[in-house]
Amino acid sequence: MERIALTPRAGWPAAVEDLGFDWHTTTDERGAPQAYWDESAYWQLTSDEVDNIEAATGELHALCLDAAAHVIAEKDFGLFGLSPSQAELVTTSWARRNEDDLTLYGRFDLAVPGDGSIKMLEYNADTPTGLFEAAVVQWQWLQDRFPDRDQFNSLHEALVARLQDIRLRWQAQDVALDTNRRTELNHLHLTAAAIPEDTGTVGYLAETALEAGFAAKILSPEQIGWAETGAPVNRGAESTGWFVDQDDQPITGLFKLQPWEWLLADTFGDKLLGAAQARHLRLIEPAWKILLANKAILPVLWRLNPGHALLAEAHADRLAFARPLRVVAKPRRGREGANVSIADIDANGDLTGPPLADSGGPYGADGYIYQECVPLASARTEAGDVHAVVGSWIIGDEPRGIGIRESAGLITGNTSRFVPHCFGD
């Protein structure tokens, strides 16, 4: 992987805005504009590197599925912080993973330092973003700049094909179960918070869903309603309800760009749990992804595959490293690189000095896991050193493309820049 500086396309903001990419520039803590999409450079990969990333991603996905199966079979939910009913939902959902509870996508964050090694940093298995940038925006960039080169990116076709597959399998399932929700079987609702990045991502996914034959409708989480039969207030214990959209139409299939644990913690959390458990509501991603999105899966992976070349050593307890090492502490249910810290520990797991980096943030209440600090792809620029993480996408069960995020610090966060890539001559 080589980082090559390049003058941005003249008028690039207008070009990407034409695609619907209106979150290409964000603001820093002081409110100053900060590039999110950054085409002042690109990453050039070799064909072999792309092949290796593709193979590693497929293998890691398989390892993760095995780890989820293990956790469920052994009822090893302790590290995951699930309530008994949540653990039950995850278990049911896993059993239905080829029927109702089908996965659409996930994104591995990989360290690809350039010495031939590839290591998994984490798996964004529930609510990965950066999809539109990877699938569409960097493709446009490639067409404009290097139309004769290649890009590891067949994300759009893969998304449409997978959504079509999901639609048909839901349909078949409805017929098999003979439910009376058949009239809704082509409906897919998509929900995301009113943040440009998130609404942009679901807007793109709604388009792919339409292309896949769904009738798609977007709503905010606040617009989701719960309808109940019977008179208000004193309705009987037998009363059941269902989720409805802003027009009171039933929601039977829901793509959510909201993490499962947030939705479950909300007021409607118990209703969501019940509806998913009772098959009244199908979700993308399905509930079993709760396990893979939780960083507690990292020590499980290491325990099941100790020394695996694609894994960084990870433990729930720092003492388990039993040697002096640089480690990264990650909140089990953290996001966007928040509350991540890096420190050196001795053989007893004690810190040998102040943390080398500490990102701060709102997470961490559920505890941390510790992962060996592994080198990232890096490059020296006029502005200083940059570090890059390769976000490698799984659509369905297949690796279908990458997007590269770059930052000056060691922790890839919300404000890291998206830098396009290509391979071939």
Partner 1 sequence: MNKLRMKKSRYVASVLRGASILVLALPVAACDRGGQTWGEMPASEKTVGEQDVKVFSAVEDCAAEADAAACEAARTTALAEHREKAPRFGTPEQCKENYPNCEEVRTSSGGSFFMPAMMGFMMGRMLSGGFGAGGGYGRAAQPVYYGRDGYASTTDRRLGVPNTGTPGGATTVRAPVTAGGDIGTRAATVSRGGFGATSSRFGATS
Residues 178-217 close enough to bind partner 1 by CB under 8 A:
179-181, 183-184, 187, 191-193, 195, 197-200, 203, 206-208, 210-211, 215-217
Our CB check for partner 1 shows the closer of 299 and 364 to be: 364
Dihedral sign for Cα atoms in the order 63, 322, 111, 160: positive
Nearer to partner 1, 24 or 318 (CB): 24
Amino acid at 274: G
Q: Is residue 263 close enough to count as binding partner 1 by CB under 8 A?
A: yes
Sequence-ordered list of residues with C-beta below 8 angstroms from that of 43, at least 6 positions apart, any chain:
1, 2, 3, 4, 377, 388, 404, 419, 420, 421, 422
> Which residues ranging from 314 to 333 are in contact with partner 1 (CB under 8 A)?
none
Looking at the Cβ atoms of 141 and 321, the one nearer to partner 1 is: 141
- Torsion angles phi and psi, residue 403, rounded to 5: -135, 140
In sign, the C-alpha dihedral spanning 296, 299, 302, 304 is negative
Alpha-carbon distance 68 to 101, whole Å?
A: 14
For the bound state, the minimum distance from the C-beta of residue 361 to partner 1, rounded and expressed in Å, comes to 9
Does the protein bind partner 1 through residue 267 (CB under 8 A)? yes
Residues 381-420 that bind partner 1 (CB under 8 A): 401, 414
Nearer Cβ to partner 1, position 93 or 153?
A: 153
Closest approach, Cβ 325 to partner 1, in A, equals 26
Our finding on whether 234 is near partner 1 (CB under 8 A) is yes
Q: Out of 78, 114, 116, 230, which residue is the one contacting partner 1 (CB under 8 A)?
A: 230
How far is 6 from 420, CA to CA, in rounded Å? Answer: 11
Rounded CA separation 173/365 (Å): 39
Of 324 and 424, which has the nearer Cβ to partner 1?
Answer: 424
Residue 92 in tokens: 């049911």
Q: Pick the closest to residue 285 from 107, 69, 38, 133 (CA basis).
A: 107
Contacts of 17 (CB under 8 A, 6+ apart): 24
Q: Which is nearer to partner 1, 8 or 20 (CB)?
A: 20
Stretch that binds partner 1, among 5-13, 66-74, 112-120, 133-141 (CB under 8 A): 133-141
Please pick, from the candidates 91, 249, 277, 305, the single residue that binds partner 1 as defined by CB under 8 A.
249
- Point out which span in 31-39, 139-147, 296-304, 340-348 binds partner 1 (CB under 8 A): 139-147
**Out of 9, 91, 226, 325, the residue judged to bind partner 1 by CB under 8 A:** 226
> Residue 33 Cβ, how far from partner 1 at the closest point, in Å?
18
Which positions from 58 through 77 interact with partner 1, judged by CB under 8 A? none
* Closest approach of partner 1 to the CB of residue 88, in Å: 20
Strand partners, 107: 124, 393
Q: What is the Cβ-side half-sphere exposure of residue 177, based on CA atoms within 13 angstroms?
A: 16
Give the pair of three-digit tokens for residue 235: 């309705």
What is the x/- site pattern for partner 1, positions 337-366, by CB under 8 A?
-------------------------xx---
Query: What is the spatial distance between Cα 121 and Cα 221, in angstroms, rounded to a whole number?
Result: 30
Judged by DSSP in three states, 399 sits in: strand
- Distances in whole angstroms, Cα of residue 35 to Cα of each of 107, 150, 201, 410: 22, 25, 18, 18
Among 59, 66, 76, 157, binds partner 1 (CB under 8 A): 157
Judged by CB under 8 A, the stretch of 62-70, 89-97, 152-160, 169-177 that binds partner 1 is 152-160
Task: By CB under 8 A, tell whether 86 contacts partner 1.
Answer: no
